[in-house]
Structure 1
Amino acid sequence: MNENDFREWCKKEVCNYTNNHLDKTDKKKITTDDVFVVWSCKTLQNNKALLSTTVSDGMYYECTYNGDKKEMYIDAYKKWENFKVEISNEEPRKEILKDFYGNEICKL
C-alpha cells in the first residue's frame, strides 16, 4: 500500500469513528476534510500515522498498518494534559538497571 492511500484510509476511518462517537443531540458530522495527519511514516510494508480532527475533544488517533496481514489497527487516545518539565542543573541521579538474573544492563 502506498503512503497516500494509507493516509486517506486513515482519515476515512478516523472520520467514521468520530462521527459514530459524537453526541447525537449536537446533530454534527465531520468529513475527511476535518481530519488531519500530524505525522506518518512507512517502513518496508508497514505504515503508521498519528491523526487528529478539528473537533475540540482532545482526541488523537494512531493508525498502524500491518502489511504482512493486510490489516490496520487504530488506537483512539484522549489528551489529558500538557505540562512543561525543565531540565535541572542538579547532578543526575545514578541508578543501575538490572535484568531478571541480576546482570547490569545500563547505568542511568
Structure 2
Amino acid sequence: MDNQSFISKSKQAVVDYVNEHTDGGTIDSYEVYVVWLVRVLQNNKALLSTPVPDGRYYEATFNGDKNEIYLDVYKKEKNIDINL
C-alpha cells in the first residue's frame, strides 16, 4: 500500500472511531492530521490527531504481510514540565 492510500484509510478509521465514540458532533477526514509517518519495507505507521479536545491521539499501523491496518487509541493522561 502506498503512503497516500495508507494515510487516507488511517484518517477514515480515526473519523469512524471519533464519530462513534464522541458525544456531540462529528468530524470529517480533512480534520484529521498526521503528526508523524514512517514506512519500513511493506509496513507503515502513523500518529494522527484531531481538533476534538478530548486528549486522544491515534496510532495506525499497516501490516503489509497480512494487508491489515490496526488502530490504537491513546488518551493523554498528563503533561509534565521538566525544567532543564
Normalised TM-score (structure 1): 0.74
Larger-gyration structure (1/2) = 1
Specify the alignment match of 1:54 in structure 2: 51
- The number of residue pairs the alignment matches comes to 84
Specify the alignment match of 2:18 in structure 1: 18
> Segments of 4+ in structure 1 off by > 6 A?
none
Distance in 2 separating the partners of 1:19 and 1:69:
27
For CA contacts below 8 A with separation 6 or more, give which structure has more relative contact order: 2
Structure 2 residue ranges without an equivalent (≥5): none
Distance in 2 separating the partners of 1:8 and 1:73:
14
Please state how far the C-alpha of 1:84 moved relative to its aligned partner. Answer: 2.1
| Correspondence 1:81-92 to 2 at 5 A | 81-87=78-84
Distance in 1 separating the partners of 2:11 and 2:47:
10
SS of the equivalent of 2:8 reads: helix
Specify the alignment match of 1:75 in structure 2: 72
Distance in 1 separating the partners of 2:76 and 2:50:
13
Distance in 2 separating the partners of 1:34 and 1:3:
18
RMSD: 0.9
Specify the alignment match of 1:93 in structure 2: none
Normalised TM-score (structure 2): 0.95
Specify the alignment match of 2:41 in structure 1: 44
